Amino acid sequence: MSQHRFLAFDLGAESGRAVLGTLEGGILSIRELHRFPNDPVTIDRHLHWDVPALFREIKTGMKICAGQTAADIESAAVDTWGVDFGLLDGKGRSLGLPFAYRDLRNVRAMETFLAKCPKERIYEITGIQFLPFNSLFQLQALALEDPGLLAAAADLLFIPDLFSYFLSGSISNEATIASTSQLLDPRRNEWSAELLGALGVSSHILHRPIPPGTVVGQLLPSIAAETGSKDLPIIATASHDTASAVAAVPALGTNWAYISSGTWSCMGIDVSTPLITPATLRLNFTNEGGLAGRIRFLKNVSGLWPVQQCRKIWSEDRPLSYDEMIAAAADAPAFKGFIDPDHPDFLNPPDMPEAIRNFCRRTGQTVPSGRGEVVRCVLESLALRYRAVLEELRQVSPHPIETIHIIGGGSRNELLCRFTAEATALTVVTGPVEATAIGNIMGQALALGLVRSPEEIRAIVAASTDLKTYEPVDPRAWESAYDRFLGVAGR
């Protein structure tokens, strides 16, 4: 049997990794080669991604791969989070560090743009949910604060496009990452001239989106020499991390939903065409691109970000593991208080545990007193938020929803997975943990003609992954908690 190897760079908001994938006989195995932190930097009170540091880590991953892999890899690809972008001048040079989506400059920009173009029209064009950090509003913020920078830009590259350019010298916009921008018409796969005109941004800085699974170029000789790598194709995989993750859901048929669980929770269904209606606008769902022309109909809701930030605060005295935090939460009393995980209070507070306690105090609930109670409050609230999104999905889904697949890092959180089964009264299937890296790799295999369809990819993932199933035991116990949660969250 022939063996095929691929190198995936999966960059998340908290960390990045280089993952080697080996496909042989319909089974995929993966091995993490290099893991590194993703630490944004604050410059002049604004939050930016440290792109040069991340690119150094990508090259380090290539060096490690070249030194450890007996057989040559066949391609490499990068996936990242959505919406953020970098700008190049006419000579292909970066115009500063890209802003990070948690930078607080975007709220005023969103209000400014909505005064020029109503929400209903924007949604009719794009089918994208309204979040203040969408690329549309980030561009409005630049137009307000630094119009000279925009005027100097010759190309806009989303973050994975930017790294593909650094690796290959080829400039392109990949479709799944482009679809997160709230600038793309998903029916036509074209940039909206109307929205760009309202921004006062020239359409020449954007390029017609290419489908995921496209070879964009070859590794630059200088990068190959620096890293000890062979000449290899650089592929635009499903470059948005959630698009890659959803491509790796090991599901059959259609009657399922997914939760891509990590810093964010992306919960939705896989459909063939965009769902853009007054109801989906009212419910604030989004239509983002997927592998092979599929549509990820989903809602971005808060994920494990509050838990991650609690750990950061609590680890100032001594390192604290997630296992310790989850064990303490399991021992804490149930249903003492809830938060709205999507409330602006939790976007980027300086002290997350105190923000959680303040929210409970302000809403007349019992204030969590210990670390276990704080973490349990977050996890129960996330599970109840998933229940709320499930109810909304059922209002507009073209098919029933009978199972929830949880993929990504959050699938390791057994307490959250158990809570989700109880809160939704549905079977929950978890895995793979490394769904994004797996989807990235399978997108490369698709580009090279080694797999033919999303269905074949899902079958390979299912055959290659140890899945775990959670059945609801006493979902009725969560009914009154759900009613309390809705009252606290104002939903």
Q: What is the CATH number of the domain that holds 340?
A: 3.30.420.40
What is the reported pLDDT for 394?
A: 98
Show the tokens assigned to 367. 């204030």
Report whether 195 contacts 125 (CB < 8 A).
yes
What string of DSSP letters covers 5-64? EEEEEEE-SSEEEEEEEEEETTEEEEEEEEEEE---EEETTEEE--HHHHHHHHHHHHHH
Q: Give the DSSP H/E element, type plus range, for residue 199.
A: helix 193-199
Q: Among 10, 50, 161, 241, which one carries the catalytic annotation?
A: 241
Closest residue by Cα to residue 100 from 88, 86, 114, 113: 86
Show the tokens assigned to 405. 């697949």
Looking at the 3D structure of the chain, how many domains does it have? 2
d(CA 217, CA 203) in angstroms, rounded, equals 23
Q: What is the pTM of this model?
A: 0.91
Q: Answer whether residue 438 is part of any domain.
A: no
Show the tokens assigned to 324. 């310790």
Query: Is 241 marked active-site?
Result: yes
CA angle 50, 213, 437 (to 5 degrees): 50
What is the reported pLDDT for 70?
A: 60
| Residue that terminates a domain, selected from 192, 218, 240 | 240
Q: Are residues 125 and 26 in the same domain?
A: yes
Q: Answer whether residue 480 is part of any domain.
A: yes
What is the reported pLDDT for 414?
A: 97
Q: Are residues 285 and 415 in the same domain?
A: yes
Q: Answer whether residue 441 is part of any domain.
A: no
Report whether 125 contacts 276 (CB < 8 A).
no
What is the reported pLDDT for 107?
A: 79
Q: Are residues 217 and 303 in the same domain?
A: no
Q: Are residues 365 and 464 in the same domain?
A: yes
Cis peptide before 349 (omega within 30 of 0): no
| Residue that terminates a domain, selected from 190, 221, 240 | 240
Q: Are residues 319 and 208 in the same domain?
A: no
Q: Are residues 379 and 468 in the same domain?
A: yes
Q: Answer whether residue 436 is part of any domain.
A: no
Q: Answer whether residue 120 is part of any domain.
A: yes
Report whether 300 contacts 286 (CB < 8 A).
yes
Residues in Cβ contact with 111 at an 8 Å cutoff, skipping those fewer than 6 apart: none
Q: Are residues 487 and 417 in the same domain?
A: yes
Q: Answer whether residue 104 is part of any domain.
A: yes
Q: Are residues 234 and 284 in the same domain?
A: no
Enclosing domain of residue 485: 249-431+452-491
| Residue that terminates a domain, selected from 210, 240, 270 | 240
Q: Are residues 160 and 59 in the same domain?
A: yes
Residues in Cβ contact with 162 at an 8 Å cutoff, skipping those fewer than 6 apart: 51, 85, 86, 94, 98
Q: Are residues 208 and 269 in the same domain?
A: no
Q: Report residues of the chain scoring pLDDT below 70.
A: 1, 70, 491
Q: Are residues 28 and 114 in the same domain?
A: yes
Q: Answer whether residue 276 is part of any domain.
A: yes
Q: Answer whether residue 444 is part of any domain.
A: no
What is the reported pLDDT for 147?
A: 93
Q: Are residues 184 and 294 in the same domain?
A: no
